[in-house]
């Protein structure tokens, strides 16, 4: 429930600065929500997004996202593999989480759906994701503008749920991340935090889900759906093909990458045969982490 690893004030301020600097560098001030623009942001950063639905096996949580680096022809290619079997708002959070690893150059890395908050780097990445998607100062301003106070300790639960649902639909930050943020800025009490965090926000019969669906139905339902898509942006597919044409990746790598999206070189006019023994690098990486985890 609580963040397992407590970050120092210096750590938190450093993360705030990093998130603020990167938002401005990418053309965003503190105010606008950016979650809907994450694919555009990845394009700007020349990161190739790979969408792959992978369900959890037994009790072991499935991976949430992975960032991979590939050195080909003296050039570094960067990929983020996203598990689309997860809820859409958690997919958004996972991309922002991996951006922390990209910005801080912590190397290839796999995140799981359980958050791994006992790990210091993972705790920092989660805090960055929350700050990148919804800056703390903006959240404080939202609280004050709504309630004319920075404290919500006297606000009834039903009112808080309506407020959180509006934040959820505007900023696309997962419900529980929003509850944590309100606790971390001391807007809600420990008792309120425990009550709100204990809600099963995905249960369509609970009060919060009914409120969210009544707030902004299309967006709320999208955020609470596992998209299970397989694919990538057209620009990412084009990047794979261009890198193959420029000899930055070989035939096997090209085949493996395209196969992730149910495509083959033949779809684009290339007559490359596929070996039965071919294993794509991303699944190798994920399986390697599964055996170690």
Transcribe 36-92 into DSSP letters.
Answer: GGHHHHHHHTTEEEEEE----BTTBPPEEEEEEEEEETTEEEEEEEEETTSBHHHHH
Distance CA 215, CA 212 (A): 5
Residue 127 is predicted with a pLDDT of 96
Structural tokens at position 274: 């596929």
**Per-position pLDDT tens, the chain of length 293:** 555 678 999 999 999 999 999 999 999 887 899 999 998 999 899 898 888 898 877 666 678 898 988 776 677 878 898 999 999 999 999 999 999 999 998 876 677 766 555 688 999 999 999 999 999 999 999 999 999 999 999 999 999 999 999 999 999 999 999 999 999 999 999 999 999 999 999 999 999 999 999 999 999 999 999 999 887 767 678 878 888 898 888 888 888 878 767 788 888 888 755 444 444 555 665 565 555 55
Strand 47-52 vs strand 63-72: parallel, antiparallel, or unpaired? unpaired
User: By three-state DSSP, how is residue 26 classified?
Assistant: coil
Q: Which tokens go with 41? A: 């942001």
CA distance 174 to 208: 13
Does an H or E element contain 111, and which? strand 109-112
């Amino acid at each position: 429930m609580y963040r397992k690893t407590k970050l120092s004030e210096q750590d938190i301020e450093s993360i705030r600065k990093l998130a603020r600097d990167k938002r401005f560098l990418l053309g965003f001030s503190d105010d606008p929500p950016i979650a809907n623009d994450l694919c555009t942001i990845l394009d700007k950063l020349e990161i190739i997004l790979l969408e792959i639905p992978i369900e959890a096996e037994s009790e072991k949580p499935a991976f949430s996202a992975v960032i991979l680096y590939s050195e080909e022809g003296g050039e570094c290619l960067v990929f983020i593999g996203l598990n689309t079997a997860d809820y859409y708002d958690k997919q958004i959070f996972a991309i922002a989480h991996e951006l922390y690893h990209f910005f801080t150059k912590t190397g290839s890395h796999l995140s799981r759906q359980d958050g791994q908050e006992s790990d210091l780097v993972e705790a920092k990445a989660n805090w960055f994701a929350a700050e990148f998607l919804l800056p703390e100062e903006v959240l404080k301003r939202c609280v004050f503008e709504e309630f004319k106070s920075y404290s919500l300790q006297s606000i009834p639960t039903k009112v808080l749920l309506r407020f959180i649902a509006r934040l959820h639909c505007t900023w696309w930050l997962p419900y529980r991340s929003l509850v944590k943020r309100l606790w971390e800025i001391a807007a809600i009490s420990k008792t309120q935090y425990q009550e709100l965090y204990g809600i099963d926000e995905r249960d369509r019969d609970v009060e919060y889900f009914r409120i969210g669906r009544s707030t902004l139905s299309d967006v709320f339902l999208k955020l609470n759906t596992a998209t299970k898509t397989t694919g990538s942006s057209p620009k990412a597919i084009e990047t794979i093909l261009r890198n193959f044409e420029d000899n930055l990746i070989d035939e096997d790598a090209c085949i493996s990458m395209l196969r992730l999206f149910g495509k083959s070189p033949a779809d684009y006019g290339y007559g490359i045969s596929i070996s039965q023994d071919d294993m794509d690098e991303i699944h190798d990486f994920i399986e390697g982490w599964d055996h170690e985890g």
